[in-house]
Structure 1
Amino acid sequence: MALSRPERHLVHDIVALDAVSLSRAIRQRTLSCVEVMQAYLSHIERVNPQVNAIVGRPDPELSLARAHERDEQLNRGEYLGWMHGFPHAVKDLAAAAGLPFTMGSPLFEDQVAAEDELFVARMRAAGAIFIGKTNTPEFGFGSQTYNPVWGTTGNAYDPALTAGGSSGGAAVAVALRMVPVADGSDFMGSLRNPAAFNNVFGLRPSAGRIPEPGFLVSPAVVGPMARTTEDLAALLSVMAGADPGAPLSIDEDPAVFTRSLERDFRGTRIAWVGDWNRHLATEPGLLKLCESSFAVFESLGCSVESALPDFAPEKIWETFLTLRWWGIAAAGQDFYRPKKRRARLKPEAVWEIENGLGLSGLDVSAADTARTALYAAVQRLFESYDFVLAPSAQVFPFDKNVHWPAEIDGRAMDTYHRWMETVACWSLTGLPVLSMPVGFGTQGLPMGVQLIGRHQADLAVLQLGHAYEQATHWVHRTPPPSVVGG
């Protein structure tokens, strides 16, 4: 089946649809899956070379053939689910059968996944057609998407700047309408920082919402990215749900996320943590932009006031580092020990692993105890407040050739990820966090705020995020220059 060249206006009309509307159009047969695939592939060919967000793409003819199969299924009355016929690119930290699985590392540049990870299998079962991978930093280390396998991903609003990371490719692909929705993952803001840098939504779900195997609660989670909260909720409903192979998964029907997000928020109290009483270095103008969201929340009937958990921020960072080092060393020591393989790792990966290998069991136990104490302190904060608000990042997007900011507002960064510290507390507590667009700085660059909810209150976070979205419409008000007018 040859790839035709649909008219430019038709391509724009299709890729401009939000994912919920696109799904409805496919199910109602007002758009065929082949038409949708042709439009997206044409748009990707035009836009992706500027930013390098989608990588490892199979032959377009194969994607079109699979779209034709989806149309044939509809002809037979077989509707697979919400993603039926959706072009989708999986983040290159996750396995998708038949596609490259490099994790951005030269150690795995020729690796092809043999099977799907659980959440990927769920998207495939819901009808998604995988058209490639989204780019990520090597092993996901750092909020700057570059690696020696696929290269660097540019920002949706200025390709010379960073996309953030580690879900940088995913955020850019969503922002530039190259996919209807995207999956990502988040240990240290990887769903939140790139969402902020590209003016889209990124949801870090509650720990266990999207099942992962094992008995240890890692700060790392998988989650959705989208241009609307309704799209975000719909993708979450596909990815979420308990699984027998994941003993710590949340046993709640994910269909709850497909219901209405409308809710009255009059009387809601929100705590603003800001820069933690100047503990966090922030780029000038960033906090003021984030604080401009207060008026929006107040228009919804909420009140916003400054408040912090009763827990030393220095201890949060120490705890975060220890648990991160431990987890990375456990997963990466086999890559590190052979000297020839170690020499091919990025310096930040070597640093993480070496610090982890130097930890004792008592060090890890002490960090776990501190994490529990932090969670208790945050729960006490939630006795007085319904939500917490924080910046999604500490800097605006910067030059994509700079690996990480060495300083912020004159304050030196002592690690390659200290400039992302604003996300650490919420990763440790495992609470649901939504990164929402908050507008643009004086240089025209996007930023976001984190909306943090109570224990397993993912739906409530999405509902308040939806109300905020309806009052602001940042995504649709200010699309990236390369998608304006198609």
Structure 2
Amino acid sequence: MSELHYLTATELARLIRTRQASAVEVLQAHLDRIEQVNPHVNAIVTLAAERAIEAAKAADAAEPDGLLHGLPVAHKDLVDTAGIRTTYGSPLFADHVPAKDDLVVERLRAAGAITVGKTNTPEFGTGSHTVNEVFGATRNPYDLSKSAGGSSGGAAAALATGMVPLADGSDMGGSLRNPASFCNVVGLRPTPGRVPGVSDTAAWYTLSVQGPMARTVDDLTLMLSAIAGFDHRSPYAIREVFTPEPEEGVAGLRVAWSPDLGGLPVDPRTAAVTATAPAVFERLGATVEEVELDLSGAEEAFRTYRAWNYALSFDDLTGLGPNTAWNVERGREVTGAALAAAERARSRLYQRMSAFFDTYDVLIAPVSQVPPFPIEQPHVSEINGERLPDYLAWMRSAYWISVLHAPAASVPAGFTTDGLPVGVQIVARPFGDARVLRVARAFEQATGHGRQRPRL
């Protein structure tokens, strides 16, 4: 029982359900782990230990009920948690305590999960490096001098170090996938509407989604089963009940492999790791074909809609950090003509990729174009000698996929020669979340890279 903190969520749920371990024991193991390692990585920024202990005692006194009964979980500091400080990574909300839970928090609690605390994020989730003026930076567990990625970097680092077995995250331009890649865990960007969000400012905005993070694909599937489902408050919530695919493995599937998503610069260290993925799928019986991917239009669509959303969401706030303020300024420049052009570009891309997925079952590609970078570095400014125009550009490999309205997962693919984690991105057509998870599980089982723990 001394290693309870590194058991899978699936195994912990079984132990609690069969009374072989108590919810209090499981929680205490994770609280001890938080005390031991969190000072080194700064992943959990608000701890709700006393409240969690009371919830664990109540779970032990009740009949096991719910998929996640008695399991500790951490929530990204972007989602509201009733009675628990939620800062959004911004000094403007440093002491903010919401009165009600976000829908994803409601669903996790309804499934029996126990809130342990909040995980670090950049201000309003802006950027793929987790640092803010309230709590500072989250460090990569595999190399404390490197970034944990973002914007769900606190969640990824907490999972990698055994502080929690499950964590929620969100993803507009890679914020579930990039930190999963950087920290050797798994993250799923679901099809928009699979995990519905509730908004009174941007209810139809589909680029940003919430989703699960974990250490194994089975745990990812377990958590998605708890948080997915229709809600009438979301205009594009999916009515279909999420069901994992019954098939195992990838034998017979048609896999498209893109080493650079259509010409993006990729760091040679990342490229060397992700290039090993096609052979794994071939050994598993899939047909793999390297493709020349055409994602033209994705850049224009993502940047236009992202900028518009930032102006919509934060235009009335003063005192924003530089990254958020820059995005708001870009949003103020968006015209009706620009939105029309972005919609045309995205629609053409959607139809082109719909035809692409008539030929291929899944696409595999790099998650991020670089491995984890120095924590003092605000963002990646150059890849392979190519100067990047701004702090967003190094994440094109993730945010171009965001535009497709498609599910995408990051799964550990291996390590660079200096021991830094690298993930592979698995993408299916819209609504193919179960297919993504099936393929991700087969890759995970065949490689075992996710079982390599950080040495703190």
**TM bin (shorter chain):** over 0.9
- Structure 2 residue 342 is matched with structure 1 residue 367: yes
Question: Equivalent residue for 1:3?
Answer: none
Q: 1:468 aligns with which of 421, 435, 443?
A: 443
Q: 2:238 aligns with which of 227, 232, 250?
A: 250
- Structure 2 residue 283 is matched with structure 1 residue 299: yes
Structure-1 separation of matches of 2:186 and 2:116: 22
Aligned 8 A contact 2:261 2:293 in 1: no
Aligned 8 A contact 2:257 2:278 in 1: no
Question: Equivalent residue for 1:338?
Answer: none
Structure-1 separation of matches of 2:16 and 2:448: 25
Structure-2 separation of matches of 1:243 and 1:175: 32
- Structure 2 residue 268 is matched with structure 1 residue 280: no
- Structure 2 residue 313 is matched with structure 1 residue 331: yes
Question: Equivalent residue for 1:4?
Answer: none
Q: 2:38 aligns with which of 39, 48, 54?
A: 48
Aligned 8 A contact 1:242 1:249 in 2: yes
Matched residue type, 2:171: D
SS state at 2:140 partner: coil
Structure-2 separation of matches of 1:390 and 1:451: 7
For residues 148-159 of structure 1, the aligned pairs below 5 Å read 148-159=133-144
The Cα shift of 1:418 comes to: 0.4
The Cα shift of 1:348 comes to: 1.4
Matched residue type, 1:20: T
Question: Equivalent residue for 1:345?
Answer: 320
The Cα shift of 1:285 comes to: 2.5
The Cα shift of 1:365 comes to: 2.1
- Would you identify which runs of 4 or more consecutive aligned residues in structure 1 move more than 6 Å? none
SS state at 1:382 partner: helix
* Cα deviation digits, residues 52-95 of structure 1 (max 9, x gap): 0001113x33322221111112xxx3x33122111211000101
The Cα shift of 1:311 comes to: 4.5
Question: Equivalent residue for 1:6?
Answer: none
Q: 1:41 to 1:311 in 2, by over 3 A?
A: closer
For residues 17-416 of structure 1, the aligned pairs below 5 Å read 17-58=7-48, 60-73=49-62, 77=63, 79-213=64-198, 215-254=203-242, 256-257=243-244, 262-277=247-262, 279-312=263-296, 315-335=297-317, 341=318, 344-416=319-391
Q: RMSD across aligned C-alpha pairs, in angstroms?
A: 1.4
Matched residue type, 2:365: A
Question: Equivalent residue for 1:11?
Answer: 2
Aligned 8 A contact 1:11 1:40 in 2: no
The Cα shift of 1:267 comes to: 2.3
* Cα deviation digits, residues 235-288 of structure 1 (max 9, x gap): 00011001111121111123x23x75x4242221111222145x3122123212
Structure-1 separation of matches of 2:2 and 2:80: 30
Structure-2 separation of matches of 1:89 and 1:155: 18
- Structure 1 gaps of 5+ residues are 1-9, 336-340
The Cα shift of 1:309 comes to: 4.1
Structure-2 separation of matches of 1:128 and 1:266: 35
* Cα deviation digits, residues 340-360 of structure 1 (max 9, x gap): x2xx32211111101111111
The Cα shift of 1:11 comes to: 3.3
**Farther-moved stretch of structure 1 (361-370 vs 104-113):** 361-370
SS state at 1:334 partner: coil
Provide the TM-score with structure 2 as the length reference. 0.96
Matched residue type, 2:2: V
The Cα shift of 1:475 comes to: 1.2
Structure-1 separation of matches of 2:283 and 2:12: 31
Matched residue type, 1:232: L
**Farther-moved stretch of structure 1 (62-71 vs 198-207):** 62-71
Matched residue type, 2:52: S
Matched residue type, 1:49: P
Matched residue type, 2:121: T
Aligned 8 A contact 1:308 1:381 in 2: no
SS state at 2:144 partner: coil
Structure-2 separation of matches of 1:264 and 1:147: 41
Aligned 8 A contact 2:261 2:365 in 1: no
Provide the TM-score with structure 1 as the length reference. 0.91
Structure-2 separation of matches of 1:62 and 1:239: 22
Q: Larger Cα Rg: Structure 1 or Structure 2?
A: 1
**Farther-moved stretch of structure 1 (290-299 vs 377-386):** 377-386
- Structure 2 gaps of 5+ residues are none
